[in-house]
Structure 1
Amino acid sequence: TVNDEKAKIATEKYKVVEELIASFHAGTLAPKPGCTPEQTLEALVNGELGRIRELIGNMCEARLTFMNKPRIMAECGSKGSPLNLCQMMACVGQQNVGGQRIKDGFVNRTLPHFQKGSTEPEARGFVENSFYSGLRPPEFFFHTMGGREGLVDTAVKTAETGYMARRLMKALEDLSLKYDLTVRTSACQVVQFAFGDDCLNPARMEGA
């Protein structure tokens, strides 16, 4: 079944993560160029946990028929993705904030549900359940932390691009195209001797 396959993949990757943590504590983990051993460990662990969702996602997609409606939506590009199929069917996966795993913000642990100094993937934002099976409280908290970043990001980017567009419009609203095909200000100062340098109107090109 999907759950059996998921458990097998997760167990294999958990062993790899445990080996990485053990080598870090033993001082044998070679740091990546420009990174500390701690940063190297986080990057490697995050990569391995992200690979779990990728492998489970491929397995889920292979098990769905071509008549499956969510699969049709994902493949034709109307809505959703293979990642969403994986999250619904098998595993929500690693939750990141700022491109990193959830950091300890509650006295040497992420949440009071875990032991202090806990290093297992579940204690640092890995959500093993799917939306179908339901999330446990700690998994739900981690998922909302990842979701919050997306919401704030959307609001901030909308404000920034909107303000940029407004400044451009205000800077350019004084310009107009004259009958001699020059671009001038309201004071008749020439900005361009030939509109767009080629005098071609894009609205009347290609397919017009």
Structure 2
Amino acid sequence: TGEKYWTGKQLFSTILPKDFNTSFRANICNCTNQAECKKGNCPNDGYVIIRNGELVCGTIDVKAIGNSKGKILDRIARDYGSERAALFINQVTRLALGALMNHGFSTGISDEDIPKEASLQINNNTQECIDKVTALVDSYRSGTLQQMPGRSLRETLEVSVMQVLGKARDDAGTIAGKYLGMDNPAVIMAKAGARGSMLNLSQMAGCVGQQAVRGERLARGYWDRTLSHFEKGDLGAYARGFCSNSYKSGLTPTEFFFHAMGGREGLVDTAVRTSRSGYMQRRLVSALEDLKLTSDGTVRNTVGTVIQFKYGEDGVDPAKTVRGKAIDLDDLFFEVFGDEAENFNQEVEKDVGGDYGSLEKDEMEYIEEEGDGEDMDDLDLDYDGGGE
């Protein structure tokens, strides 16, 4: 018909600065082989490459425009100024709203449905793990359990049981995720970083998992047992807070009680941590409010006393840093070598045994995501002291 159509990548490219260049792994990328992603051949379109303001490949998610994690937004604010960053935020918001108005996006409880085959696999996997826990308890009672260095026999049992039951929940999530698929709206939200996580979905569809208080299995309650529904001295999985059901299938009365125990600790911990950190910030602001950075690079108070000879000991403006570092090696290589920067990285990788710029950065980001992973309002209070 001669009518011109636009791809999503072309539309997104219209709001980028014309000389903008960057590349990074998107949050949606789950490739084990980073070399494939580096070449833009990610099967999930999970490696973002932008050249001269054109989105060549990749998926735009929380890694690109998210709060504190957004590579594109951070780079625009750092290199083009706050006004250009504000314009980008306005334009990307209008673009996203237009996409939602025309295409639509919704999720419901049916998105957590998995076939009977998946439920059977999860049940079999969970039963195997419970049998392993029973075997560990039996070996503990018989004195044949191999003791870990620096731990008592009982501590060894608890650590081993937590590892086995943690794997049960993770495996259940893997099975459920495989059957839910990447086209599932709930999975899209979790993978893109919009809301929730795959852990939330695995608990909804697969298995809620072990409930914990202060990082340990539940122990308090009645004399030598958690609830009167269990025998005294029972160290098994179910008697100490393991929930084999999912939120979709529903919890048993004892599982619901254990879940409430773990959830209460999460709520209290969040409230206490928020008040403590807020008060600490208030005191720090009060202590530092009369300090200023002078034209000679020193930090002085109101009477001119030198507090620091060079701001931050290095004189680097935090607003211009890249995740705490003065420069981004990948960006520097691209500015110097252009499109040959990829080949340069590969040559360095051969010489030093690792990607000099990107590999270390990707690993650090992965560790940070595993460590905190989400903002305060997205915390998954489970396993290590919570209920969901």
Given the two structures, how large is their TM-score scaled by the length of structure 1? 0.89
Aligned to 1:65: 181
Aligned to 1:50: 166
Q: Verify: 1:76 aligned to 2:192, yes or no.
A: yes
> Gaps spanning 5+ residues in structure 2: where?
1-115, 323-388
1:55-79, CA deviations, whole angstroms, 9 ceiling, x for partnerless residues?
Answer: 1111001101221111111111222
Amino acid in structure 2 at the alignment position of 1:186: T
Aligned to 2:96: none
Distance in 1 (alpha carbons) for counterparts of 2:187 and 2:135: 36
Change (3 A) 1:27 1:133: same
Aligned to 2:123: 7
Q: Verify: 1:173 aligned to 2:280, yes or no.
A: no
Amino acid in structure 1 at the alignment position of 2:131: K
Aligned to 2:213: 97
Aligned to 2:372: none
Q: Which of 218, 236, 239 pairs up with 1:120?
A: 236
Distance in 1 (alpha carbons) for counterparts of 2:218 and 2:291: 51
Q: What displacement does 1:50 show?
A: 1.0
Aligned to 1:142: 258
Q: What displacement does 1:10 show?
A: 1.5
SS at match of 2:246: coil
Distance in 1 (alpha carbons) for counterparts of 2:148 and 2:119: 35
> Alpha carbon RMSD of aligned pairs, Å?
2.2
1:8-58, CA deviations, whole angstroms, 9 ceiling, x for partnerless residues?
Answer: 111211221111111111111111001111110111111111111111111
Q: What displacement does 1:115 show?
A: 2.3
State how many pairs are aligned. Answer: 206
Amino acid in structure 2 at the alignment position of 1:154: T
Q: Which moved more, 1:145-154 or 1:189-198?
A: 189-198
SS at match of 1:191: strand
Q: What displacement does 1:182 show?
A: 4.2
Amino acid in structure 2 at the alignment position of 1:103: A
Amino acid in structure 2 at the alignment position of 1:23: S
Distance in 2 (alpha carbons) for counterparts of 1:9 and 1:201: 52
Aligned to 1:188: 304
Aligned to 1:162: 278
Distance in 1 (alpha carbons) for counterparts of 2:131 and 2:167: 13
Q: Which of 134, 148, 151 pairs up with 1:35?
A: 151
1:69-125, CA deviations, whole angstroms, 9 ceiling, x for partnerless residues?
Answer: 111111112222221111111211110111111014211210122222223311110
Amino acid in structure 1 at the alignment position of 2:167: R
Distance in 1 (alpha carbons) for counterparts of 2:213 and 2:254: 15
Moved over 3 A (4+): 177-183, 192-206
Given the two structures, how large is their TM-score scaled by the length of structure 2? 0.49
Aligned to 1:19: 135
Q: Which moved more, 1:115-124 or 1:87-96?
A: 115-124
Task: Tell me the percent identity.
Answer: 47
Distance in 1 (alpha carbons) for counterparts of 2:220 and 2:311: 58
Amino acid in structure 2 at the alignment position of 1:5: Q
1:179-205, CA deviations, whole angstroms, 9 ceiling, x for partnerless residues?
Answer: 555432222223245555566655588
Distance in 2 (alpha carbons) for counterparts of 1:80 and 1:115: 38
Amino acid in structure 2 at the alignment position of 1:46: M
Distance in 1 (alpha carbons) for counterparts of 2:265 and 2:284: 28
Amino acid in structure 2 at the alignment position of 1:99: G
> Gaps spanning 5+ residues in structure 1: where?
none
Amino acid in structure 2 at the alignment position of 1:72: I
Change (3 A) 1:73 1:169: same
SS at match of 1:53: helix
Q: Which moved more, 1:81-90 or 1:185-194?
A: 185-194
Amino acid in structure 2 at the alignment position of 1:31: Q
